[in-house]
Amino acid sequence: MSQDLPPRALRERARVPTDAEFANIPWLALLDPADQRAMRQEIKIAAAEPGDLVCRIGRPATYWFGVVDGLLKMSNDASQGPAVTFTGVPPGAWFGEGTLLKREPYRYNIEVLRPSLVAGLPVEAFHGLLDRSIPFNRFVLNQLNERLGQFIAARETDRQNDPDTRVARNLAALFHPVLYPGVGEVLRITQQELGFLVGLSRQRVNEALKGLQAQGLIRIEYGGVRVLSLAGLRRYAPAARDAAVG
């Protein structure tokens, strides 16, 4: 059962990031030196455990969150209907800027899937950067643009009845180089975790991954998946699979 973990609980276990953890925050290096120093005083990091809810539907948005390490998922409230996972949230991701911009409550849950390190920037510091930093504005604008494209692609993927296509397209989304720069070429994820994100059993995910590997699109490695053709994953379709098999 998910544990409600509001920002206050995160604050209680929060600490100052290390230099290595600061280096994994993609937008920090874009700021001028004065803003970098100021944000290093504002950003905190905390350990979150599987089942914790970092963001909860209906709660006010008081922090801009980022994943320094680990894996989270964005989903709806399953008590109000069928459970729907909108996207996975891997390392390097910063999320919730649209909610902060509108200063509205969260319309989604963010749940932790494995032990993770989650960083947070207070909402007022976020808006302060928007007011004075052109590089930060460009970063946020690019985030919003890329995320819009991601959700349009996710809508198309949701209409696919072919499990292999769903696994391929969801993997491609998790390897997004702009939204998730901390992933690189290898995504540390278990088949069970991928099943949670895609909505398939671990056994069916295993079958799909083996098929994608046979086509040269990925390589299954210990504890994760290495992408060999991101473009191939993005355009994957049953017709392409059948042609490769034939």
229: domain CATH number is 1.10.10.10
Do 95 and 73 meet the contact criterion of CB atoms below 8 Å apart?
Answer: no
Q: Report whether pLDDT(227) > 60.
A: yes
Q: Give the residue from 127, 150, 173 where a domain finishes.
A: 150
Note the pLDDT tens digit of each residue in 180-224. Answer: 998 888 999 999 999 988 888 999 999 999 999 999 999 999 889
In sequence order, which residues have a C-beta less than 8 Å from that of residue 127 and are 6 or more positions away? 100
Domain that holds residue 168: 161-245
Residue 199 has a pLDDT of 85
- Residue 80 confidence class, pLDDT cut points 50, 70, 90: low
Q: Give the residue from 150, 174, 209 where a domain finishes.
A: 150
Q: Report whether pLDDT(106) > 60.
A: yes
Note the pLDDT tens digit of each residue in 9-40. Answer: 667 788 999 999 999 999 999 999 999 999 99
Q: Are residues 119 and 239 in the same domain?
A: no
Q: Are residues 165 and 94 in the same domain?
A: no
Q: How many CA atoms, within 13 angstroms, populate the side-chain half-sphere of residue 218?
A: 27
Residues present in the chain in total? 246
Do 223 and 188 meet the contact criterion of CB atoms below 8 Å apart?
Answer: yes
Q: How many CA atoms, within 13 angstroms, populate the side-chain half-sphere of residue 232?
A: 14
Do 159 and 41 meet the contact criterion of CB atoms below 8 Å apart?
Answer: no
Q: Are residues 52 and 130 in the same domain?
A: yes
Q: Are residues 177 and 144 in the same domain?
A: no
Q: For residue 184, is it within any domain?
A: yes
